[in-house]
Structure 1
Amino acid sequence: MNILRNSLAVVAVSALLGLTAACGSGKATVCKEAVEALTGYSSKVAGAAADVEGFNTATGKLATQFKDLSGKADGDLKVALAGMADSWGSFKLDLSDPNAATKLVEFGQKAQQSSQQLASACS
């Protein structure tokens, strides 16, 4: 569990670092809120330890935050946030699934791609 949780936290932190560098332009408020959402998520995931349900709840809430933020945006920023909402919303950690590690890698790739889109849209 710790390896999976830590891997996902790394995805969140890498997205956060990309966004922190990219915040600018007239979209700054929405981009700042996206950074704050990722920061809060990283803290919750770090505190979840072996609590899979807490981890999944935090991930679902982050997806909802991205969806709400996409409603405040337009253009590339809206598309990027909607993509992040879809990526984070589709991920549920299930330790009984023998393919959990593979799913985490796939999710990490999707999350990283959507985070890069967001960073680009915020620049």
Structure 2
Amino acid sequence: MNILRNSLAVAAASTLLALTAACGSGQTAVCEEAIKAFTDYSSKAAAAAGDVKGLNTATADLAAQLKDLSGKADGDVKVALAGMADSWGSFKIDLKDPAAAAKLSEFGQKATQATQELGSACS
């Protein structure tokens, strides 16, 4: 569980760094809201240590926030946020799933790609 939580925290931290560096576009407010969403998510994920349901809820909440933000954005930022919302929204931890480790790896790749797209769009 710690590996899973740590992996999600790393993905969120990577996104935060990309957003912080990329907030130079005309959509600064949306970028700042996205940074806040990821900061809040990191806190919630840390607080949910050992609580799969809590971590899944925090992840679903982040996906909903990103989807809402995509509605406030334009162009590439909108597309990138929607992609991130889809990536985070499709991730749910199921400890009974034998393929959970592979899904975590796939999720990490999707989150990284979406982060890069958002970073490019916000710059």
TM norm structure 1: 0.98
Pair 1:17-2:22 in alignment = no
Q: How does 1:1-123 map to 2 (within 5 A)?
A: 1-123=1-123
1:12-50 alpha-carbon deviations (Å, 9 max, x no partner): 101111111111121100011001101100111111100
Q: Identical aligned pairs, as a percentage? A: 74
Give the length in aligned residue pairs: 123
Q: Secondary structure at the match of 1:93?
A: coil
Q: Secondary structure at the match of 1:57?
A: helix
Amino acid aligned to 1:65: Q
Runs of 4+ in 1 over 4 A off after TM superposition: none
1:69-123 alpha-carbon deviations (Å, 9 max, x no partner): 0000110000000000100000000111111111001001001100111111111
Gaps of 5+ in 2: none
TM norm structure 2: 0.98
Q: Secondary structure at the match of 1:59?
A: helix
Amino acid aligned to 1:89: G
Q: Secondary structure at the match of 2:115?
A: helix
Amino acid aligned to 2:110: K
Gaps of 5+ in 1: none
